[in-house]
Amino acid sequence: MADGAVLIVGGTGGLGRELAAHFVGKGREVIITGRDADRAQSIAAELGGKASALGCDLAQPETIASALESVGQVDNLVLSAIARDENPVRDYDIASAVNLSTMKLVGYTETIHTLIPRLSDESSVVLFGGRAKDRPYPGSTTVTAVNGAIATMITTFAVELAPIRFNAIHPGIVGDSPYWENKPLDAVLARTPTKRLATMEDVVDATVFLLENRSVNGINLYVDSGWLLM
Ligand SMILES: NC(=O)c1ccc[n+]([C@@H]2O[C@H](COP(=O)([O-])OP(=O)(O)OC[C@H]3O[C@@H](n4cnc5c(N)ncnc54)[C@H](OP(=O)(O)O)[C@@H]3O)[C@@H](O)[C@H]2O)c1
């Protein structure tokens, strides 16, 4: 089992931060990133243990290599950063769409490209997509498209960069995540067979499985309580 550094890109908030707390609790060296270095460092201080932080803006992919210059060997890389883009086609906001597309498509890939020399044959990577790839809603065109792209990008990474393992996790609506916790979710629950939405703890558990199971590679794992069945 790897016990070197865990780098969580987007580890300053939501699911990334929850995952960081898990690995800090296991005594691992954890590096979290967010856009602002000072904010990221104060969150790393809250996490305690062997947590540290860097500023890295995925929407500025040309800056990623220098932003990650101080990072050493990485055993587990998690790409969870997101910018919300509720963007109806009738009122299309180009800047918002470009921001999210750049972050997830180019930013995630450039992060991996930058870190290749610091990953080992035993390293593993998890990319965050989401169930909006299969369950669209008005305004989700960019989100649906980038999450669909995540589902396919892991396959090229796993082939090109073998034997490093690449998997993706696609949560449904995570009811206790900061983005959703105060929003009305009765309509989502009504279409969820278990009548129980995925929790942050469930997503952390599934992400750890993808990172640590040495035979799981090129998988898209859905953590959505069976939402798409109804
Ligand atoms: N929450 C859900 O229910 C849900 C459902 C399906 C899929 N997901 C997926 O799960 C992942 C995590 O979602 P979340 O809800 O936990 O997110 P979140 O709470 O909104 O956190 C987003 C993270 O992304 C970082 N970030 C934003 N813009 C960035 C940029 N340009 N460059 C680098 N980092 C940036 C933020 O850091 P700073 O603000 O510090 O920059 C923060 O750490 C996402 O990929 C999302 O698509 C979540």
State the average pLDDT over residues 61-84.
98
In tens, the pLDDT along 28-42 reads: 999 999 999 999 999
* pLDDT value of residue 92: 98
The residues near 18 (Cβ < 8 Å, ≥ 6 apart) are: 200, 201, 203, 204
Our CA dihedral for 14, 3, 26, 6, rounded to 10 degrees, sits at -10
Give Cα separations from 144 to 3, 50, 139 (angstroms). 34, 36, 9
User: To test ligand 1's pocket by mutation, which of 57, 79, 80 has the most ligand atoms within 8 angstroms of CB?
Assistant: 80
In tens, the pLDDT along 2-21 reads: 568 999 999 999 999 999 99
Q: Nearest-5° angle of CA 12, CA 219, CA 97?
A: 50
HSE-up (13 A, CA, CB side) for residue 15: 31
Q: Is 70 exceeded by the pLDDT of residue 108?
A: yes
Q: Residue 42 in contact with residue 113, Cβ under 8 Å? A: no
- The answer, as to whether pTM is greater than 0.95, is yes
State the average pLDDT over residues 152-167.
98
* pLDDT value of residue 177: 98
- 171 Cα–ligand 1 center, Å: 12
For residue 85, give the DSSP letter: -
Protein residues with CB under 6 Å of any ligand 1 atom: 10, 12-16, 34-36, 39, 56-59, 80-83, 103, 128, 130, 171, 173-174, 177-180
* pLDDT value of residue 1: 52
State the average pLDDT over residues 118-135.
98
* pLDDT averaged over every residue in the chain: 97
In this structure, the strands spanning 50-55 and 165-171 are: unpaired
Nearest Cα to 152, choosing from 216, 104, 209?
104
- 34 Cα–ligand 1 center, Å: 9
Tell me how far apart the alpha carbons of residues 175 and 67 are, in angstroms, rounded to a whole number: 33
In the chain, the amino acid numbered 77 is L
Tell me how far apart the alpha carbons of residues 144 and 196 are, in angstroms, rounded to a whole number: 23
* pLDDT value of residue 4: 80
